[in-house]
Structure 1
Amino acid sequence: MTEKICFQAEASHQDPDVILVHGAGAGLESDFLVAARVGFEARGVTVTGVEFHYMAQSRASGKRRPPPPVKRLVEELGDVVRVMEKPVVIVGKSMGGRVASMLALPGMAPANLSGVIVLGYPFHPPGKEHTLRVEHFDRISVPLMILQGSRDPFGKQAEITALFGERHWPDEIELLWLDSGDHDFQPAKRSGKTRESLLDEALDAAVTWLQHRRLGSV
């Protein structure tokens, strides 16, 4: 089920279709994703929200449902992208970003998928640093940017740097750390930062990345 988010910004024929995909437990109307959508709007980016079927069922029933196996979500997201006429950039929050990254593999990626941006990648379950969800990274075939809080329990900067310090990241992947941010970019109080400032930093970087990668005229 795809929900069109209507913003004031008008897309040109050169712009990619940017779709926003939610995480496992919170949908498109979460505070984080509403703020992200408003932030993209302020930067002239038109966004379409994509809601997985299980989340639509949960919202309709008022009862929380767990997501289905990730393979099914990859197929569902692929079906959404393939029917879109223009090049598509997926912006995924947490699980939505993981699903998008798995769609970006050879043999899986729709021809019109031109990029993926992840807002908080779930590198591993909290407290299980060695249960990594990166086995597919070496095969990602489209540009991918990860925006990650440095103290995100799903992948802190110190542990990810230690695990991947000797690893060569594929050229398609860029990783930007947001100092002191957690999984929702909420900083520690002692940092003097705010979630709004970290989200602004993330969205500015995302739009710059789109421009540098020439994925659209945003």
Structure 2
Amino acid sequence: MVNPVTFYRSEAVGSLTAPRLLLAHGAGAPADSEFMERLAKSLSLQGVTTLRFEFPYMVKRRQDGRKRPPDRQPALLECFRQAIADVAAGPDGGCPLFIGGKSMGGRMASHMIAQGGFPPGIRGAVCFGYPFHPPGKPDRWRINHFQDLKRPLQIIQGTRDPFGRRHEVEEEERGLAAMENVRLSWLEGGDHDYRPLARQQESHDEMLRQAAGRAAAFMHCLK
């Protein structure tokens, strides 16, 4: 029997029928990292309930304090499927459900909606800082599966994200704009964690609010 997934839940403010976002962490930080906590709070204020969970390697790190590399993709996706099943079986299983994540977690969410076999109640996916390629290796793109997406995918990306800067993404010859289910939104000056340039008027909190607002608009539109 598969153990149930532990969730870090942040309730939407002012809505009983809020969309829910099943939110996975990035490769190096857990579900309760500062970024994930602040993002969940911003989404809550935008009327989105978030349920954060951790992949097996991060659960083990929490147990013994030892850092580990991420699990291989099949294990990550199996954990994602289990988290979806647990949410769907919960008391608010009838509310609109989206999946997504930070960086690697968002990439896994995009693979989920590309592979199929997910519950029909999933409306789409949201990626906060998509790892288009490893930093410094713009020849290793990770978007081949985008052509198979079966639900809309919203990517919210900082313009100076080393995993995919704006000029790199816009010049990518495979043409993201031609992919019907991919929606790309840019945060001017933001890095991989949406931190702004020192000369910008926006604070980091404001950048996170912008990211949450764009994600919420996407979800409310499709719910």
TM-score when scaled to structure 2?
0.88
Quick one: which of 70, 80, 83 aligns to 1:80?
Answer: 83
Equivalent position of 1:135 in the other structure: 144
Quick one: which of 97, 111, 115 aligns to 2:124?
Answer: 115
* TM-aligned CA deviation for residue 44 of structure 1: 2.6
1:192 pairs with 2:192: no
Q: Per the alignment, do residues 165 and 73 of structure 1 end up closer, same or farther by CA in structure 2, a change over 3 Å counting?
A: closer
* TM-aligned CA deviation for residue 7 of structure 1: 3.5
Equivalent position of 2:9 in the other structure: 5
1:124 pairs with 2:133: yes
RMSD: 1.9
C-alpha distance after superposition, 1:10-61 (max 9, x if no partner)? 653x443322211111011211111001111222322211111211110111
Structure 2: give runs of 5+ residues left out of the alignment.
Answer: none
Quick one: which of 184, 209, 221 aligns to 1:212?
Answer: 221
Measured in 1, the distance between the counterparts of 2:219 and 2:194 equals 21
Question: Sequence identity of aligned pairs in percent?
Answer: 34
TM-score when scaled to structure 1?
0.90
Measured in 2, the distance between the counterparts of 1:147 and 1:158 equals 15
**What amino acid sits opposite 1:116 in the alignment?**
A
Measured in 1, the distance between the counterparts of 2:203 and 2:24 equals 24
Q: Per the alignment, do residues 47 and 54 of structure 1 end up closer, same or farther by CA in structure 2, a change over 3 Å counting?
A: same
Q: How many residues align?
A: 213
What SS does structure 2 have at the residue aligned with 1:41?
helix
Q: Per the alignment, do residues 11 and 81 of structure 1 end up closer, same or farther by CA in structure 2, a change over 3 Å counting?
A: farther
What SS does structure 1 have at the residue aligned with 2:51?
strand
Q: Per the alignment, do residues 167 and 32 of structure 1 end up closer, same or farther by CA in structure 2, a change over 3 Å counting?
A: closer
Equivalent position of 2:74 in the other structure: 71
Moved more, 17-26 or 104-113: 104-113
Measured in 2, the distance between the counterparts of 1:42 and 1:56 equals 28
